Amino acid sequence: MSLSGAVIPPSDGDHSTAEDPGRSLLVTEPLTLESGVVLPAYRIGYQTYGALNADKSNAILVCHALTGDQYAANTHPITGKPGWWTSLVGAGKVVDTDRYFVICSNVLGGCLGTSGPKEINPETGEIWGLDFPVITIGDMVAAQRRLIDHLGIGQLFCVIGGSVGGMQVLQWAKAYPERVFAAVPLATAAKHSAQNIAFHEVGRQAIMADPDWCHGDYIKQGKRPERGLAVARMAAHITYLSEPALHRKFGRNLQDRPRFTYGFEADFQVESYLRHQGISFVERFDANSYLYITRAADYFDLAAEFDGVLAEAFRETRTRFCVISFTSDWLYPTAESRVIVKALNAVAADVSFVEIETDSGHDAFLLEEPELFRTLGGFLDGCAKHRGLRWR
Amino acid sequence: MAVTAEDMASIPALDAGAAGLRADLALIAQMVAPGSRVLDIGCGDGALLAHLARAKSVDARGMELSQAGVNACVRNGLSVIQGDADNDLEAYPTGAFDYVILSQTLQATRQPRQVLDSLARIGRHAIVSLPNFGYWRVRLSLLLTGRMPRSPLLNYSWWDTPNIHLCTLRDFTVLADDLGVAIEEARMLDPAGRPYGMSARHPAANWLAAQGVFLLKRAE
């Protein structure tokens, strides 16, 4: 293996990892991106939970979604909040860290320790900004593969992720089928729809319309396009919820006031909630990263290289799939999951498909959904049996 | 509320052994060769699949219409998708499975002819069980009461039954012949669900069988 990676602490001045050094891999083997651009070296920030067994057969790779990060199951270094998938990943939980070795890495283009637009371009010594090459889901997964190589893991027991993380799961299964024993794409799609792209474009335009964005050069100019990024998050956040969930949570309730103010303050609770979502998001996320990662999702179309025949992406696959969708998810609706299932059926792949009844919308995969947990637990147990995994 | 390991362990195993299987399912299980690839359409809670996986080491897959059924199966480690015989068989490639099983479901499909055709295409063998509308009690019930018959197998009022394409065993064998599907084995069950020592192709079986179980194969 030509990989010459080493676990080294992140560079000084990386404020995002100052509180928790986390773990970081510097890959010096160049990566040829799908765009043709070559990334000579790059860093991957990651976290692991649990212990790798002797034959390295119990590794689960968790792929994070659009604005997630590697802190799936431990305290986030910036927000101080519990990891984003603490409900699912941990000792005695469905993805049981007493049994499995769980890996979660920050995606390429991200902003929490993995190379991305806010990091230093080693060739120039300057912040990348928009000089960072545009990356794809395929590039993200190719970079993750170097991390898995580095950890000495041949075949992952399972790759699991929701939304943009689910796209990475599908990409893993397509690009490295022999390295994925089981795959769980949650609330996702095999390609980004026009509607998906449209919503992302709204977010990007909001960021780029902020004068503090400075054509992507805001870090050097000592500014942050907080308003633009917050608006992008607010618009996106609506797509993660469902109308019934919004109604259930907020209805038309007013925010700490008995009547309308007849102005443009946040009169309604839902406005206040969205503003809060926007403000708290800008604390932990980089605006340019948001542009790059949304772009990667937009470019995603697993069937494109097979003349649109998705089944070809999975031909000869021996991976066991568990596709899960949620009834009220209108961002990646069940129909998109069915497309994946149909393609897998067309090659007689081993696939389970469950649509879970919930009014929580797209975000359901991040929430405590008992049916999701039971399904996933059963699937993992079944796969563990087939894989011959044993525990004390 | 998080699901604990205890919760997971407390979910009862479905495979209570062939003894716990519905009569037609036990008969179907006998027809399946060990180590084969099986697709069970309308697999319900996965009882047959679990039994086949355990007792015959088959590569067991399922399809089920009800969400609760699918979830129960996947929860128990079975590979099952939500779907139905009318809409979701087309995607499968020819000869993908050694056996495709359709138990007590053909009469509830919208297009039984196409479904049977698909079964014989996807599977090297198909196994179909179905209630016999020609069973003498059914015939007598209609003759004497003048109302749509009800029996333990067909226990619905005419206006809420899912069984929209009921047939007799003879009707079924005629359709199979018509589609060029060979009947390799034809078993009948009496009303108590006991296998009866008469071929379901026998003319008398169309009177005497409460249900039939057929092992089919597309004719060469």
- Of B59, B75, B83, nearest to A374 by CB-CB distance is B75
Asked if B76's CB is within 8 angstroms of A382's CB, the reply is: yes
Give the residues across from A46 on adjacent strands.
A23, A105
Cβ contacts of B212 within 8 Å, gap of 6 or more = B129, B130, B132, B169, B172, B186, B187, B188, B189, B200, B205
How many Å lie between the alpha carbon of A357 and the closest alpha carbon of chain B? 9
Rounded distance between C-alpha atoms, residue B63 and residue B85, angstroms: 8
Residues of B in contact with A334 (CB under 8 A): none
Instruction: Tell me the CA distances in angstroms from B115 to A113, A350, B38, B86, B111, one per residue in order.
Output: 54, 22, 17, 6, 6
A89-114 burial string, b = 16+ CB within 10 Å, else e? bbeebbbbbebbbbbbbbbbbbbbbb
Give the separation between CA A259 and CA B50, rounded to whole angstroms.
60
* Non-local CB neighbours of B200 within 8 Å, separated by 6+ positions: B169, B173, B186, B187, B188, B209, B212, B213, B214
Q: pLDDT digits over A308-329, tens only?
A: 999 999 999 999 999 999 999 9
Are A250 and A270 in contact, with CB atoms under 8 Å apart? Answer: yes
Q: Is A163 a catalytic residue?
A: yes
Active-site annotation holds for A362 = yes
Q: B5-218: which CATH architecture? A: 3-Layer(aba) Sandwich (3.40)
Q: Which of A343, A346, A373 sits opposite B2 (nearest CB)?
A: A373
- Contact between A57 and A37 under an 8 Å Cβ cutoff? The reply is no
Q: What is the DSSP string of A113-133?
A: SSS-TTSEETTTTEE-GGGSP
**Mean confidence (pLDDT) of chain B:** 89
Interchain contact, B80 vs A382, CB within 8 Å: no
Integer Cα distance of A346 and A367 in angstroms: 32
Q: What's the gap in Å between the CA of B154 and the closest CA on chain A?
A: 29
> Which residue type does A165 have?
G
Q: Which of A35-39, A335-339, B19-23, B163-167 is predicted with the least confidence, judged by mean pLDDT? A: B19-23
In 3-state terms, what secondary structure has residue B126? strand
The A-side interface with B (CB below 8 A) comprises 87, 92-94, 96, 320, 322-323, 341-343, 345-348, 350-357, 368, 370-371, 373-375, 377-379, 381-383, 385
Q: Give how far A68 is from chain B: nearest CA, Å.
A: 21
Which residue out of A347, A353, A371 would a mutagenesis test of the B interface target, given it has the greatest number of B Cβ atoms within 10 Å?
Answer: A353
CB B186 within 8 A of CB B212: yes
Q: What HEC string does A22-37 produce?
A: CEEEEECCCEECCCCC
Contacts of B80 in chain A (CB under 8 A): 352-353
CA B119/CA B123 separation, integer angstroms: 6
What's the N-to-C CA distance of chain A in angstroms?
Answer: 34
3-state secondary structure of A12: coil
Pairs across A and B, CB distance < 8 A = 90
Q: Which chain B residues touch A378 with a CB distance below 8 Å?
A: 8, 11, 74-77
Backbone angles phi, psi at A245, to 5 degrees: -65, -40
Chain B residues closer than 8 Å to A353 by CB:
70, 80-83
Q: How far is A97 from chain B (nearest CA, A)?
A: 12
pLDDT-based confidence at residue B171 (cuts at 50, 70, 90): very high
Specify whether the CB–CB gap between B190 and B210 falls below 8 A. yes
Beta pairing class for A350-356 and B97-103: unpaired
Q: Is the torsion defined by CA of A304, A305, A309, A314 positive or negative?
A: negative
Q: Shortest CA distance to A68 belongs to which of A365, A373, A375?
A: A365
By CB atoms closer than 10 A (0-12, 13-18, 19+), residue B203 is exposed
How many other C-beta atoms can be found within 10 angstroms of the C-beta atom of residue B40?
Answer: 31
Given the residues A69, A329, A360, A363, the one annotated as active site: A329
pLDDT in tens, B102-132: 999 999 999 999 999 999 999 999 999 999 9
**pLDDT by 10s per residue, chain A, length 392:** 333 333 333 343 333 333 344 699 999 999 999 999 999 999 999 999 999 999 999 999 999 999 999 999 999 999 999 999 999 999 999 999 999 999 999 999 999 999 999 999 988 999 999 999 999 999 999 999 999 999 999 999 999 999 999 999 999 999 999 999 999 999 999 999 999 999 999 999 999 999 999 999 999 999 999 999 999 999 999 999 999 999 999 999 999 999 999 999 999 999 999 999 999 999 999 999 999 999 999 999 999 999 999 999 999 999 999 999 999 999 999 999 999 999 999 999 999 999 999 999 999 999 999 999 999 999 999 999 999 998 76
Maximal C-alpha separation, chain B:
59
Residues 6 or more apart whose CB falls under 8 angstroms from that of A154 comprise A56, A179
Main-chain phi, psi angles of A18, to 5 degrees: -65, -40
Q: Which residues of A touch B81 (CB under 8 A)?
A: 323, 341, 345, 351-353
Chain B's closest residue to A327, CA to CA, is B67
The DSSP secondary-structure symbol of A212 reads G
Between B46 and B75, the more confident residue is B46
What does the alpha-carbon distance between residue A139 and residue A133 come to, in Å, rounded to a whole number?
A: 11
A247 classed as catalytic? no
> How far apart are the CA of A55 and the nearest CA of chain B, in angstroms?
23
Residue A290: CB partners within 8 Å, gap ≥ 6?
Answer: A67, A203, A204, A207, A229, A232
Question: What is the greatest pairwise CA distance in chain A?
Answer: 68
pTM of the model: 0.90
Domain extent listing, chain B: 5-218
